Chain A
């Protein structure tokens, strides 16, 4: 699964996710990627999120929207909200994977509960990072 979230010069957020699903799947199984709110969500008032992982858990946890909702209704920061969902709520359910997220201020979060996640970001400030492993 691949995904991207962005904040443009006009302060608008967007999110996208694209995937091939999982090997050997049957019965027209659909994961979280095309489910708005589960694998993908964007709201200028809060954040944009794209997820990757075991889709069934992401659907049941409505992961992407949940991060936005925690920011909107509970006032959590992007990092607090995405950590709560990926590293706490999802783990308790047994779901593995991660998200990338960005808020309207350009803050970035990339939490994951697996051993690695291909990920990276670039900011207009010049800050740039590309990482794969957990310890990076």
Chain B
């Protein structure tokens, strides 16, 4: 079968032409293109869908444009807590990590949980210890820091609110009770 394909997303939310500058728009398009190409190249070489998914996501994890890896948002305490998961449609195996702060590529860790443990979801310190033992690259938490996300946290703390992805493209108030209008939610 020579039919293959790849689909990516970089988050959803209140993203309109009015709140995204032409320069930023170009930057997002270029990075999405790079991620798509990275995954597609894997498929074209005959690599597995799992390999393609991991490669494409790693391009976005290394970009400060998206809420994953570098450029991840901050918790109330000023930390980056990253989550990731992968699932293989052939075997129905799956792996995931939650609340990790020192694993350079969370998606690689999710795959490692799937392929190198008998578990599905590892969280926090345990997940990081597992990643270390499996030889995954670990980083200081400052690796994920971006000023843009730090400023978002300061705004959110000031308003006592939470913000999801891409909130600084539309700086409106959100609420803690989740019962908020559509414009306030950013995934």
Q: Are the C-beta atoms of B53 and A18 separated by less than 8 Å?
A: no
B34 to A: closest C-beta gap in Å: 10
Chain A 109-136 near chain B by CB (<8 Å), digits 1 or 0: 0101111111111111100101011000
Complex CA–CA separation, A117 to B44 (angstroms): 26
Q: For residue A5, which residues in chain B have a CB less than 8 angstroms away from its CB?
A: 6-7, 53
Instruction: Evaluate contact between B107 and A8: CB separation under 8 angstroms.
Output: no
The distance from the CB of A134 to the nearest CB of chain B, in whole angstroms, is 8
Contact A16 B57 (CB under 8 A): yes
**Which listed residue (B28, B99, B144) contacts A118, Cβ 8 A?**
B28
CB distance from A26 to the nearest CB of B (A): 4
B68 in contact with A34 (CB, 8 Å)? no
Residue in contact with A122 in the complex, picked from B40, B49, B73, CB distance below 8 Å: B40
| Chain A, Cβ-Cβ closest to B41 | A122
Q: A7-B5, A23-B156, A54-B185 are in contact. Are A17 and B12 (CB under 8 A)?
A: no
* A6 contacts across to B, CB distance below 8 A: 4-7, 39, 43, 49, 52-53, 56
B158 to chain A, nearest CB (A): 10
Q: Is the CB of B157 closer than 8 A to any CB of chain A? A: yes
Which B residues are CB-close (under 8 A) to A43?
Answer: 89, 92
**Residues of A contacting B162 in the complex (Cβ-Cβ under 8 angstroms):** 22-25
B residues lining the A interface (CB < 8 Å): 1-17, 20, 25, 28-29, 32-33, 35-37, 39-40, 43-44, 46-50, 52-54, 56-57, 60-61, 66-69, 71-77, 80-90, 92, 94, 96-99, 106-107, 110-111, 120-121, 123-124, 144, 149, 152-153, 156-157, 161-165, 167, 178-179, 182-183, 185-187
